[in-house]
């Protein structure tokens, strides 16, 4: 838990305060799991008395403003977590100024895909690696760090009173769709299948296939800026990604993270 106080001209009492905490760790300090939004009141009962030792709020807790809220979903039974993380990285996301895969030191070096901007970021990372083995193998955590703009615009979350199961699910599902992390991952044959049935002209289909193949192979230097923008838009619309090491046309199985079940699901390409 963190309590911060700053002097701010014009603020009630001449000061502004903030309280930061993770409800999951307040209620389960030694665990790694998540709590539901409807359990927030239990965490607040632990946190607010401590905050009042340092702050004299000008409003009741229900009216405290939401400056940031983090929402998460765990996916179990993921066969190749690292492949899923790397494969989803090239997918374009509107307004995402950051789109990278890195070994995150704040998560014990777990390989992490991060996309977003100053308004918020979405991460996907190997929870087994992040917890150094306490979480089972094959658990991927999707996590949306929503600052004030995202929280208000996509979830209607302005104050503590707005944090409900319904509003949090709405915000999480919106950011899940935006992040594109439910996109199918598989061999190049799947991309071929989607492109050939897209309704694009033969010339556009061929150009798009070369683009996705080159992207997966790490060779994008040949494209002009306008062509790159065009093919990125098409890639986003058709949800085209290739699993690392699967550039052949041998077919096989494709998979995706399923929001409803919280598991990886498969189909034959």
What CATH number is attached to the domain comprising 136? Answer: 3.30.310
**Rounded Cα–Cα distance for residues 259 and 176 (Å):** 8
Task: Identify the three-state secondary structure at position 31.
Answer: coil
Write down the residue that tokens 């998979």 correspond to.
Answer: 255
Residue 2 included in any domain: yes
Q: What is the pLDDT of residue 248?
A: 60
Last residue within a domain, chosen from 161, 181, 201: 181
Q: pLDDT 10s digit of each residue in the chain, 269 long?
A: 899 988 888 777 788 889 999 999 999 999 999 999 999 999 999 999 999 988 888 889 999 999 999 999 999 999 889 889 988 988 888 888 888 888 877 777 778 999 999 999 999 999 999 999 999 999 999 999 999 999 999 999 999 999 999 999 999 999 999 999 999 887 777 788 888 888 999 988 888 888 888 777 766 656 778 888 888 888 888 888 887 766 665 666 788 999 999 999 987 76
Count of domains for the chain: 3
DSSP string, 195-264: HHTS---HHHHHHHHHHHHHHHHT--TT--HHHHHHHHHHHHHHT--B-TT--SS---EEEEEETTTTEE
All residues at 6 or more sequence positions from 138 whose CB lies less than 8 Å from its CB, including other chains: 76, 77, 78, 79, 81, 128
43 and 6 housed in the same domain: yes
Confidence at residue 157, expressed as pLDDT on a 0 to 100 scale = 97
Domain hosting residue 8, numbered range? 1-64
Q: Which of 19, 35, 64 is the last residue of a domain?
A: 64
Distance CA 239, CA 245 (A): 18
Within a domain: 265: no
CA–CA separation, 20 and 211 (whole Å): 44
Residue 133 within a domain: yes
Cα–Cα dist 42/61, whole Å: 13
- The answer to whether the beta carbons of residues 65 and 151 sit under 8 Å apart is no
> What residues have CB less than 8 Å from 85, skipping those under 6 apart?
101, 111, 112, 113, 124, 125, 126, 140
Quote the pTM value.
0.83
Q: Kindly state whether residue 226 falls inside one of the protein's structural domains.
A: yes
| pLDDT for the residue 245 | 67
* pLDDT for position 103: 80
Write the DSSP symbol of residue 172.
H
Provide the β-strand partners of residue 268: 253
Locate all alpha helices (DSSP H) within 4-145, ordered by sequence: 23-27, 40-51, 81-88, 127-130
81 and 176 housed in the same domain: yes
């Amino acid at each position: 838990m963190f309590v911060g106080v700053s002097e701010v001209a014009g603020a009630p009492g001449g000061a502004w305060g903030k309280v930061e905490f993770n409800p999951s760790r307040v209620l389960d300090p030694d665990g790694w799991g998540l709590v539901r939004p409807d359990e927030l009141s239990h965490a607040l009962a632990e946190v607010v008395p401590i905050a009042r030792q340092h702050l004299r709020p000008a409003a009741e807790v229900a009216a405290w403003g939401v400056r940031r809220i983090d929402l998460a979903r765990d996916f179990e039974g993921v066969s190749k977590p690292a492949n899923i993380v790397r494969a989803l990285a090239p997918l374009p996301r509107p307004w995402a100024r950051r789109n990278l895969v890195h070994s995150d030191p704040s998560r014990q070096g777990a390989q992490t895909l991060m996309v977003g901007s100053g308004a918020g970021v979405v991460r996907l990372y190997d929870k087994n690696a992040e917890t150094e083995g306490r979480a089972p193998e094959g658990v991927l955590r999707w996590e949306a760090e929503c600052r004030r703009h995202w929280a208000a615009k996509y979830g209607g979350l302005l104050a503590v009173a707005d944090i409900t199961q319904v509003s949090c699910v709405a915000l999480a599902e919106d950011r899940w769709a935006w992040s594109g992390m439910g996109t199918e991952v598989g061999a190049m044959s799947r991309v071929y299948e989607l492109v050939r049935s897209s309704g694009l002209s033969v010339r556009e289909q061929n150009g798009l296939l070369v683009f996705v193949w080159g992207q997966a192979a790490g060779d994008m230097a040949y494209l002009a800026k306008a062509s790159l923008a065009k093919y990125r838009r098409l890639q986003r619309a058709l949800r085209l990604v290739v699993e690392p090491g699967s550039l052949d046309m041998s077919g096989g199985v494709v998979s995706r993270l399923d929001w409803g079940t919280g598991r990886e699901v498969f189909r034959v390409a």
